[in-house]
Amino acid sequence: MMLLTRKMIEIRNMLQGVGQSGALTLPSIVVIGSQSSGKSSVLEAIVGHEFLPKGSNMVTRRPIELTLVNTPDAKAEYGEFPALGLGKITDFTQIQRTLTDLNLAVPSEQCVTDDPIQLTIHSPNVPDLSLIDLPGYIQVVGRDQPVELKQKISDLCDKYIQPPNVILAISAADVDLANSTALRASRRVDPRGERTIGVITKMDLIDPQRGVEMLSDKKYPLRLGYVGVVCKIPQQTGLFTRHGANLTNVIIKNENQYFQAHPLEFGPQSELSTGTPVLRKKLMYVLEQTMASSLAGTRDAIVQELEEATYEFKVQYNDRPLSAESYLAESLDAFKHSFKQFTDSFGRPEVRQLLKAELEQKVLDLLAKRYWNKPVEDLTRAPFEADPITDLSKSEPVSLFWQRKLDASTSELTKLGIGRLATTVVEDELKNRVSALVDNSTFAAHPYARKAIADAAESILHDRFYSTSDQVENCVKPFKFEIEVEDSEWTKGREGAGRALKSELKACENAKKQLEQAVGRRKLNDVIGFVDRVQKGDVHLEGDSSAGAGGFSSALLQTGRQAIFLRDRADIIKMRLAAVKSRQCSTLKNKYHCPEVFMDVVADKLTSTAVLFLNVELLSEFYYNFPRELDARLGRHLSESEIERFAREDPRVRAHLDVIRRKEMLELVLQKIESLRQLEGKSKAATGVG
């Protein structure tokens, strides 16, 4: 039983799978012949179907690497173009159309290319063979063909008929063998005729006696000999392919009729090889033999490839094992670990700080709106009247005006929508922190994982949002009606307000400095002076100031107004800072004179209450569910191909995985080859050959 060819074809496919096919070429049978020599007919007789491109114009423009796989137990016959991913094609007319399209895709000025088309045919009716069909040699260049075409085809064929390939040289019987281009080409690369099989087609067209002479040719002796065939495809051919019937039997029947009609020349007594079945057997046998004798060379090539892969694995990857699964599992574990560390560092105190800072900002906004803002924005307005806030400390302790002002400010703060605000602030922070964790993890280079992680966080937080914000809102409700403050809280509030005012003061001063840097200190002072004079009424502007005034551009005037705003704001804050520090603000009794302190106390109470619920409703829930959600989205639920796709997103991981796969595949292939060699050795010993 012959299985070497089959095994070697399997090995070749394995190697192709890891992109290693080029490194070692397993022997194939290369089919050459002049145009119309009957080359296609012979191949189709072997396959049993018409499937090659036909037409008066030269249609074979690319080599067709044809792999025949015998599937004895299967009924169905089909072809596959592995590089195209079209799946199994059972209709051979479609295979023919695809081949024609692939050939025609070669630009006509190029005419031929050495980029091969791979086609595998699985059938119970084909032998295991690896054949390469090449463009037919042409004698005369057609009118619309480039002059160099003849040479191009010849060069292409020369490339393929090198050892260890077997040459199938097709010549038509009605042409003198001395004129056979195929034989002449073969002679050039195989002068002793050791790896060429001669096929004489169209035996029916010549006198049988002449046929005998050709088949026993002495002028071009071939060690593997000549086979005479009659492969004419019957007229009603379309019928066969269309109905999926097998051509081989029809051709053989026809062929037999011819050879049997001349028993004297081709009968059982004759030593000549004739007929397609004989040719098929010969091809299988010769290829098998060639494969056997190339085993040692193939083994050496594999060993070398393996050595290279092993070296690369060692040098580049320190022999570190890796699989897509282990990579994902490790990455996920590391990520979960970093998340755990984050949860330890982000708890109640941190949420409190975050929220308090947010509310402090809101308090400053409210204070500005209700206490500090001067209408300085409008240059053309009349000078501003005395600002009431400067009178705050001098007014009567229980002035209704200041009472209302503080009540309104407090009410606005408590009715801000603390529930939503607090929940949003914490959720945003969690998302940002998770995203920062991703940035610092192996997942950074994996868009797929990034999205899965972001989605995991988003889905949990989204689920918790409404209930959390409702809870928080409910719990701060009492503060909307009454706020009781204790002395200790007041003291703390004084400190808080002092801190907030100081940082606001710094922010104002910095902003002003930036304006100075942008415009120049002197110029800024000039324009400030001008705008001040306008505001005091010392200077009157006529008409519109949008084109500038007083020698200053409108942009500069705008900057001047900003600077004045910042200067005045800083003055007010300094004054308020002094007030907060003063004796007057040391006691709760004077709260209407110290709105900054009171508001800070309120903000602090709101924060404490909110944090209590945020911690339970949001943080703990998130910390518990997030790792589980990650498992669900990135862990065991992914399919093998999804895991593979994920791991290969990172080019470094892909290269690492590739080396390992290549190495493993080569090891496997080497094992297979070694066992084939042993088998070969045994059979040689058994037959006494070797």
Within 485-514, the residues that bind ligand GDP by CB under 6 A are none
Within 561-600, the residues that bind ligand GDP by CB under 6 A are none
49 binds ligand GDP, rule: CB under 6 A: no
Closest CB to ligand GDP among residues 68, 168: 168
The CB-of-172 to ligand GDP minimum distance in angstroms stands at 7
- Cα–Cα distance between 517 and 2 in angstroms, integer? 89
Within 23-42, the residues that bind ligand GDP by CB under 6 A are 33, 35-41
Closest CB to ligand GDP among residues 207, 396: 207
Within 115-144, the residues that bind ligand GDP by CB under 6 A are 136
> From the list 28, 125, 180, 201, which residue makes contact with ligand GDP (rule: CB under 6 A)?
201
The DSSP secondary structure of 136-174, one letter per residue, reads PB-SS--TTS-TTHHHHHHHHHHHHS-TTSEEEEEEETT
What contacts 33, CB < 8 A, 6 or more positions away?
A: 39, 136, 137, 169, 170, 171, 181, 182, 199
Closest CB to ligand GDP among residues 201, 468: 201
Binding mask 373-402 for ligand GDP (x = CB under 6 A): ------------------------------
The answer to whether 387 touches 374, Cβ cutoff 8 Å, is: yes
Planar angle of CA 233, 84, 155, nearest 5 degrees = 65
Closest CB to ligand GDP among residues 39, 405: 39
Closest CB to ligand GDP among residues 111, 205: 205
Q: Binding residues for ligand GDP, how many (CB under 6 A)?
A: 17
The CB-of-325 to ligand GDP minimum distance in angstroms stands at 51
The answer to whether 33 touches 136, Cβ cutoff 8 Å, is: yes
The answer to whether 217 touches 200, Cβ cutoff 8 Å, is: no
* Terminal-to-terminal C-alpha distance of the chain: 19
Binding mask 427-456 for ligand GDP (x = CB under 6 A): ------------------------------
The answer to whether 29 touches 129, Cβ cutoff 8 Å, is: yes
The DSSP secondary structure of 390-422, one letter per residue, reads GGGGGS-TT-HHHHHHHHHHHHHHHTS-HHHHH
- Cα–Cα distance between 605 and 611 in angstroms, integer? 10
The CB-of-208 to ligand GDP minimum distance in angstroms stands at 14
Contact segment (CB under 6 A) with ligand GDP among 225-233, 341-349, 406-414, 680-688 equals 225-233
Closest CB to ligand GDP among residues 132, 328: 132
231 binds ligand GDP, rule: CB under 6 A: yes
Within 346-399, residue ranges assigned H as helices are 348-367
Closest CB to ligand GDP among residues 128, 204: 204
The answer to whether 450 touches 443, Cβ cutoff 8 Å, is: yes
> From the list 166, 214, 230, 564, which residue makes contact with ligand GDP (rule: CB under 6 A)?
230
Q: Closest Cα to residue 372, out of 603, 586, 571, 584?
A: 571
166-172 and 196-201 beta bridge pairing: parallel
Q: Closest Cα to residue 38, out of 179, 133, 131, 158?
A: 133
202 binds ligand GDP, rule: CB under 6 A: yes
Q: Which residues pair with 68 in a beta bridge?
A: 121, 129
The CB-of-214 to ligand GDP minimum distance in angstroms stands at 13
Closest CB to ligand GDP among residues 40, 441: 40
The answer to whether 53 touches 96, Cβ cutoff 8 Å, is: yes
Distance, C-alpha 332 to centroid of its chain? 20
**Six token digits for residue 235:** 């007229």
Closest CB to ligand GDP among residues 40, 165: 40
**Six token digits for residue 488:** 């200790």
Phi, psi of 23 (to 5 degrees): -65, -35
198 binds ligand GDP, rule: CB under 6 A: no
Planar angle of CA 602, 607, 609, nearest 5 degrees = 100
The answer to whether 609 touches 475, Cβ cutoff 8 Å, is: yes
> From the list 61, 195, 232, 280, which residue makes contact with ligand GDP (rule: CB under 6 A)?
232
Contact segment (CB under 6 A) with ligand GDP among 229-237, 341-349, 414-422, 566-574 equals 229-237
Closest CB to ligand GDP among residues 274, 535: 274
64-70 and 117-123 beta bridge pairing: parallel
204 binds ligand GDP, rule: CB under 6 A: yes
The CB-of-54 to ligand GDP minimum distance in angstroms stands at 7
The answer to whether 629 touches 463, Cβ cutoff 8 Å, is: no
Contact segment (CB under 6 A) with ligand GDP among 182-190, 197-205, 664-672, 675-683 equals 197-205
The CB-of-38 to ligand GDP minimum distance in angstroms stands at 3
Closest CB to ligand GDP among residues 231, 291: 231
By the 10 Å C-beta count (0-12 exposed, 13-18 middle, 19+ buried), 439 is classed as exposed
> From the list 106, 149, 205, 632, which residue makes contact with ligand GDP (rule: CB under 6 A)?
205
- Cα–Cα distance between 258 and 228 in angstroms, integer? 11
CA atoms within 13 A on the CB side of 547: 3
Contact segment (CB under 6 A) with ligand GDP among 160-168, 227-235, 241-249, 556-564 equals 227-235
Residue with the two structure tokens 């097709």 = 170
Closest CB to ligand GDP among residues 202, 356: 202
What contacts 607, CB < 8 A, 6 or more positions away?
A: 352, 355, 356, 359
Binding mask 143-182 for ligand GDP (x = CB under 6 A): ----------------------------------------
Q: Which strand (E) or helix (H) includes residue 636?
A: none
64-70 and 196-201 beta bridge pairing: unpaired
The CB-of-232 to ligand GDP minimum distance in angstroms stands at 4
Closest CB to ligand GDP among residues 98, 535: 98
Closest CB to ligand GDP among residues 33, 79: 33
Closest CB to ligand GDP among residues 16, 35: 35
The CB-of-156 to ligand GDP minimum distance in angstroms stands at 16
Torsion (CA) 158, 162, 165, 168 in degrees, nearest 10: 40
Closest CB to ligand GDP among residues 20, 37: 37
The CB-of-33 to ligand GDP minimum distance in angstroms stands at 5
Binding mask 601-640 for ligand GDP (x = CB under 6 A): ----------------------------------------
* Contact residues: ligand GDP, CB under 6 A: 33, 35-41, 136, 201-202, 204-205, 230-233
